[in-house]
Amino acid sequence: MEQLPAVAATRLNSPRSWRLPRVRLSALARREARQGYLFISPWLVGFLALTVVPMVATLVFTFLNMTLAQEEPLRFVGLDNYVRLAHDARVWASLGNTFKFGLIWLPVSILVPFVIALALNSRYLLGSAVMRTLLFMPYVVPFVASVLVWNAMLGEEGWLNTALQFLGWSKPPQWLFDTTFIYPGLVLIGIWGIGAGVIINLAGLRGIPTELYEAARIDGAGWWAQLRNVTVPMMSPILFYTLILGVIEVLQYFLVPLVLKNGTGEPGGTTLFYNLNLYQTFFTFQDLSYGATMAWLLFGIALVITLILFRLSRRYVFYAGER
């Protein structure tokens, strides 16, 4: 290999040689940059005031003994709140309830909207526009009102049990009062609001190029082969997006058990989910420091699960723009 001249070698070895050249903006570019920062400044101020500052404040709270009443002098307690958290059986029981419910709800929240979107996307289905509207309407109904309606429907003498008795089931389950059926009952309530997921999946299905299906049919692929080799790979980013949102939704599951059971955890403590326990620690027991510690544990769990899923997505999620 031919050696470089001494002057060139000196320049290459100089620290300044590896610095990127400084770009000088024109007066017009500087003015446009200032205008851009001005336009996004409301969001930046809101992000700092409503997200960054509260996060830093709650992190500080975890090292204090702060309560709403503050009967004791405010002082630094180190890692006492974290030690208390590690030995709190109520916290780990509520976290276990959250994961148990998530194992049932996550597959349903991903597969049901996808299957319904497949049906709506079929060219053989009549009235798909009307069905899209009907499926999306429950999503815009006030959630508390819909939960109260479902509470009546899933009651011991509700519509669902009446229908099951008519079909021959003499003793239908007590959906919201039995520890065995409480999670399936909550899943039934959750399915009521899957309209947004159906619309997202339907948009993804209609974004798949028809040339791929034509090529698959030319190669002799049937409906199942097209679904497995074309639809699912092309829909994998949408399904992954739904999975991430579902994980966050499960970890923040709160409103339904609060409305149905008033936060009591009945039946048998199965509805005491982690976020409900966190809410009670903050606003019922008014223990701000311990509640902040629980919130940071929830943040850490969500972060770890999300990072693992993004790591696994490199194998299972296909992006058409990537080689």
Whose structure tokens read 């190029």?
Answer: 209
Give this prediction's pTM. 0.84
Report whether pLDDT(183) > 60. Answer: yes
Output the pLDDT for position 308. 96
Residues 23/24/28/32 CA torsion (nearest 10 deg): 50
pLDDT on residue 16: 54
14: left (phi over 0), alpha (psi -120 to 50) or beta: beta
Whether 183 contacts 104, CB under 8 Å: yes
The pLDDT value recorded for residue 19 is: 60
From the list 279, 274, 283, 277, the residue with the least C-alpha distance to 250 is: 274
Question: Which residue in 256, 255, 276, 251 sits closest to 154, CA to CA?
Answer: 256
Residue identified by tokens 């190669």 is: 219
- Residue 136 pLDDT: 86
Per-residue pLDDT for 109 more than 90? yes
Average of per-residue pLDDT across 63-83: 92
| 216-232 confidence digits (pLDDT tens) | 999 998 999 999 999 99
Could you give the domains of the chain?
80-316 (1.10.3720.10)
CA distances for 25 relative to 28, 38, 41, angstroms: 8, 18, 21
pLDDT, mean of residues 72-89: 94
Q: Write the CA distances from 310 to 66, 232, 315, integer angstroms.
A: 36, 18, 10
- Cis omega (within 30 of 0) for bond into 267: yes
* Residue 307 pLDDT grade (very low, low, confident, very high; cuts 50, 70, 90): very high
Interval 239-268 mean pLDDT: 92
State how far the Cα of 310 lies from the Cα of 316, in Å rounded to an integer. Answer: 10
pLDDT tens digit string along 192-220? 888 889 999 999 999 999 999 999 999 99
Judge contact between 236 and 114, C-beta under 8 A: no
Which pLDDT score is estimated for 226? 93
Nearest partner of 285 among 82, 57, 68, judged by Cα: 68
To 10 degrees, the CA torsion angle through 13, 14, 19, 20? Answer: -70
- The predicted pLDDT at position 1 comes to 45
The tens digit of pLDDT for each residue in 3-53 reads 545 544 555 455 554 565 666 778 888 888 899 999 999 999 999 999 999
Residue with tokens 């958290």: 85
pLDDT at position 302: 95
Residue type, 275: N
One DSSP character per residue, 122-150 reads: -TT-S-HHHHHHHHHHHHHS-HHHHHHHH
Mean pLDDT of 86-91: 95
Predicted confidence (pLDDT) at residue 273 exceeds the cutoff of 90? yes
Q: 9: helix, coil or strand?
A: helix
The torsion angle over the Cα atoms of residues 56, 62, 67 and 72, rounded to 10 degrees, is -120
Neighbours of 278 (CB within 10 A): 22
267/282 Cα distance (integer angstroms): 23
Given 3-state DSSP classes, what are the helix, strand and coil percentages for the chain, each rounded to the nearest 5?
A: 70, 0, 30
- Bridge partner list, 281: none
